[in-house]
Structure 1
């Protein structure tokens, strides 16, 4: 039995992953203020980046499910952390530069979560983790890189476009490429099959 799927995301990377996987779906942007949700969390959740990703993915899935109860909703979120510091998408090029400089020569974590929901109920939850180690680079290098990619640096948490030239910033990556770009598609397909959705 096949049910219609909605991807609760406007992320071009996630849309591309789903399309390339051959999964029929439509995309709907969830009405969720991520920063407000984070502020409302208790301290133990607010300081755990992977927990935040799961909570936000669930909020997005359930919000869209409230509007489209007959569909299966895939809510997604990605968080990034370096030690105890949790990162967000930069608001401007200055923040993008600061973000990249703070990651230089270090290993950070990306958590990519999804939640499947239908008719206001959660069906499945999953999070995948990747560890990314960057090369050491100078402020001058970062400025040149950001000048080259421009405002695209504001579209991702780490200010890098890993599916493009940003891959050159990394010494090593432990974890799935799909986790890094924001949607653990193998695990999602497995869960969709378990739920007889595809």
Structure 2
């Protein structure tokens, strides 16, 4: 029996996320996918929410809802999953760094301290939100040297701007940390186990 045998729907799940890591996690779990675009201005949404004193965790779920809504307008009949992740450093929201200098500044601010990653997801069909959830992980960054940071940024190159915080934990970013508490999929950007539970409750997966 291969993993796809567990999927009970005739149609694949639409994934409203451009993250290759999220796609790979779901495909590894045997979920047939079609990736669709969910054009939202994450920075503008986050900025507006920060003005109303929303927390980084609240912003993560709001961004996932915004992506789900945008995708549902184009695919109103389909079951879709949207997700987003925020980094919470002592209550301060960090987004994807704009360039290498920004990444350096973020990593220096995180060095030697703990932060949280909040990963949110939403299942939606048309105007109906079928499920929404969020999970968090705590990460303690080590007090690395300036020379190490130079070598890390040189090795990562432009990839350092593609994730919140400027690191990929599944790659060279693992060298930045002393300790990690939380589910691995949550750290990679998707609360996978809660999503699978929700899909079973919706009779999309074998129980």
Q: TM-score range by the shorter chain?
A: over 0.9
Task: Determine if contact 2:85/2:189 at 8 Å carries over to the other structure.
Answer: yes
**Larger deviation, residues 165-174 vs 31-40:** 31-40
The answer to whether 1:166 aligns with 2:173 is yes
* Pairing of 1:5-154 with structure 2 (within 5 A): 5-41=13-49, 43-45=52-54, 48-154=55-161
Question: Could you list the per-position Cα deviations for residues 48-87 of structure 1 after superposition, in whole angstroms to 9, with x for gaps in the alignment?
Answer: 0000000110110111011111111111000001112110
Question: Could you list the per-position Cα deviations for residues 149-188 of structure 1 after superposition, in whole angstroms to 9, with x for gaps in the alignment?
Answer: 1111111101111101211211111110100000111111
For 1:146 and 1:39, the matched residues in 2 are separated by: 27
* Unmatched 5+ stretches in structure 1: none
For 1:102 and 1:88, the matched residues in 2 are separated by: 13
The answer to whether 1:192 aligns with 2:199 is yes
Task: Determine if contact 1:101/1:137 at 8 Å carries over to the other structure.
Answer: no
Shift of 1:134: 0.8
Shift of 1:38: 2.1
Count residues in correspondence: 196
For 1:38 and 1:71, the matched residues in 2 are separated by: 27
Q: Which of the residues 155, 158, 164 maps onto 1:157? A: 164
For 2:19 and 2:159, the matched residues in 1 are separated by: 12
* Unmatched 5+ stretches in structure 2: 1-7
For 2:44 and 2:172, the matched residues in 1 are separated by: 33
Q: TM-score, normalised by structure 1?
A: 0.95
Across the aligned residues of Structure 1 and Structure 2, the Cα RMSD in angstroms comes to: 1.2
3-state SS of 1:122 partner: strand
The equivalent residue for 2:5 is none
